[in-house]
Structure 1
Amino acid sequence: MKLFIAGASGATGEHVCRLAKEAGWDVHAFVRSKAAASRLDPAYEHSVGDPTDPQDVAQAMVGADAVAVCLGISRQTRSPFAKPVSPLDLTSRSVEAILQSMQSLQIRRIVYISAFGASESWSSIPWWGRAFLSLTQVRHSMIDHTRSEALLASSGLDWTALRPMMLDDSSSSDSAREMKSGDSLLKKVPREALARTVIRALNDRSTIRRPVALVP
C-alpha cells in the first residue's frame, strides 16, 4: 500500500504518516511549503505543492493506492475565536483537486477528516452548541467541510468522511470509535486516535461512501 497524505505536516497528518509507516506502508507526504517539508521524517517520500492545483496534486499522487486528507483551515491560534490564516475555501478546493487527480489516475479510496457539525450532522448539535459555533471562526470550517463532503458524495469514489467533534493532543494507543445514540458530544478525540482511525478506515469497507461520527 502506498498512501498519499495531504496535510502531512499538520497536527493529525504527522500521526497518520507515522502510523502508516509503522504499518509497513509507503508514505507520500504532500505539504504546502519547504518549511513544512523540512519538519518531515526523512524516511517519507514527499513533495511540496499547492493542494488546490490539480497539476501539482496529480504529479505527487502518481503511484499511490489510496489517499488521506488531513487538511483544514488554519487559524492564528487554536482559539475558536482566532482569525483564519488560510483561505476559507482551502479544504473544499483541495478536495476538488484531489478528487480530479484520483479520477485521472484511477485511484478509488479516500479517507477525509471532516468534523461533527458538517452537512446534516449540524442539526444533531444542541442549540447552544450551534449558537456558540456560529459566533466563532470554527463556522468557516464547518461550511467548508460541508462543501467537501458534497464533493466526495458526488465523486463516485470509495470515500469515507470521519467526523470527530473536538480534538486534543493527548496520546492514545486506541482508535476512536463510531458514535452511538446517547454518546456525549463533549468528549475530545485525541489526534493520535483519529489518525489510527484513518489507517483502520482505509481497509474497512463498512465505512465506504458514508460519514462516520467519532468519539473517544
Structure 2
Amino acid sequence: MHPTKKILLLGATGRTGNEVLHLALRQGYQVNILVRDRSKVNYDHINLQVFEGDTRIQADLCQAISGCDACISCLNISRKSDFPWAALRTPRDFLSVTMNNLIKTYKENDIKRLVFTSAWGVGDSRPYIPGWFVWFIDNSNLSPAYLEHERQEAMVRNSGLDWTIVRPVVLTNRQTFKTPKAILNFEQKPGLTISRKETAQFILAALEDEKYVHKAPVIYS
C-alpha cells in the first residue's frame, strides 16, 4: 500500500474527528475537511484546507476530495446532548446518504482507500455485546445511529473500495493515553471504553496498514 499524503476528513468538527484532524496534521498529512459551517473551524494550519458544504451533496464531496489519496469519516448521527434519549440533531438517513454519494465520488475520482468509524454492536458484532447494552441501544435514541452504521457498513462492503470499518467500544473524553488494542474476531472480549484520542491514533495507523483492509476491527484501550 502506498503511503497516504493527502486525506479528506469528514466529521472534523465532531469530538472524535477533531482529534483525528489535529493528529493528522501533527503527523504531516495534508488534510481537506468538508464542514457545514466554516465558522466552527477555529484552527489554521499550512496543510489544512477547509471546504464548506454538505456531505449529502456529491458536488461538494467532489470538490473537497480533489487531489486526495483517501478519506477518513468520523461522521455520526448526533443528538442535541449526550443524554441517550435526547432528540436527534442530524437526519436519520444522514450516514447512508453520505456513503452513497461518497462511493460514487470515489469511483469518479479513482480513489480506493476509505476508513470510517462505526460502533461496537453494529452488524455481526451485535451478538457479542452485553445484553444490557443491547437493551440500551434498542430503547433509546442511540438506535438510529446504530441502524445507520449498519446501512453504511453494508454499502461499503459491496463497493469495491479498500475499506476499513473501525468499531470503537464506548467512547470517552479521557485525556490520558493508552495504546489502543484491536480484535478482528469475537473470541476475545474487548474492554468497555476507549478514548477519542486513542481512537484517532488507531484510525491513522489503520489507514496505512494493509492488514486492516476489508476488516472491521473492534478497538478498545
Shorter-chain TM-score range: over 0.9
Aligned pairs (5 A) from 1:25-36: 25-36=29-40
Residues 142 and 151 (structure 1 numbering): CA distance in 2 closer, same or farther, change over 3 Å? Answer: same
Q: Deviations over 1:117-172 (max 9, x none)?
A: 11111121232221121111111110000000011101100000000120011124
Q: Distance in 1 between matches of 2:159 and 2:43?
A: 31
Q: Distance in 2 between matches of 1:212 and 1:63?
A: 28
Unaligned runs of 5+ in 2: none
Question: 1:49 maps to which residue?
Answer: 53
Residues 172 and 94 (structure 1 numbering): CA distance in 2 closer, same or farther, change over 3 Å? Answer: farther
8 Å contact 2:34–2:52 — kept in the other structure? yes
Q: Distance in 1 between matches of 2:52 and 2:116?
A: 20
1:40 aligned onto 2:46: no
Q: Return the offset for 1:23.
A: 1.1
Aligned pairs (5 A) from 1:8-157: 8-37=12-41, 39-43=42-46, 44-157=48-161
Q: Distance in 2 between matches of 1:173 and 1:123?
A: 29
Q: Distance in 1 between matches of 2:190 and 2:72?
A: 27
Question: 2:213 maps to which residue?
Answer: 208
Unaligned runs of 5+ in 1: none
Give the superposed CA RMSD. Answer: 1.5
1:156 counterpart SS class = coil
1:47 counterpart SS class = strand
TM-score (norm 1): 0.94
Q: Distance in 2 between matches of 1:59 and 1:178?
A: 34
User: Does 202-211 or 88-97 show the bigger shift?
Assistant: 88-97
8 Å contact 1:67–1:109 — kept in the other structure? yes
Q: Distance in 2 between matches of 1:108 and 1:172?
A: 34
1:192 aligned onto 2:182: no
8 Å contact 1:53–1:97 — kept in the other structure? yes
Percent identical residues:
29
8 Å contact 1:80–1:137 — kept in the other structure? yes
8 Å contact 1:9–1:40 — kept in the other structure? no
The residue identity in structure 2 corresponding to 1:159 is W
The residue identity in structure 2 corresponding to 1:183 is K
Q: Return the offset for 1:174.
A: 4.2
TM-score (norm 2): 0.92
Question: 1:181 maps to which residue?
Answer: 187
8 Å contact 2:32–2:49 — kept in the other structure? yes
Residues 175 and 104 (structure 1 numbering): CA distance in 2 closer, same or farther, change over 3 Å? Answer: farther
Paired residue total: 214
Question: 1:167 maps to which residue?
Answer: 171
Question: 2:11 maps to which residue?
Answer: 7
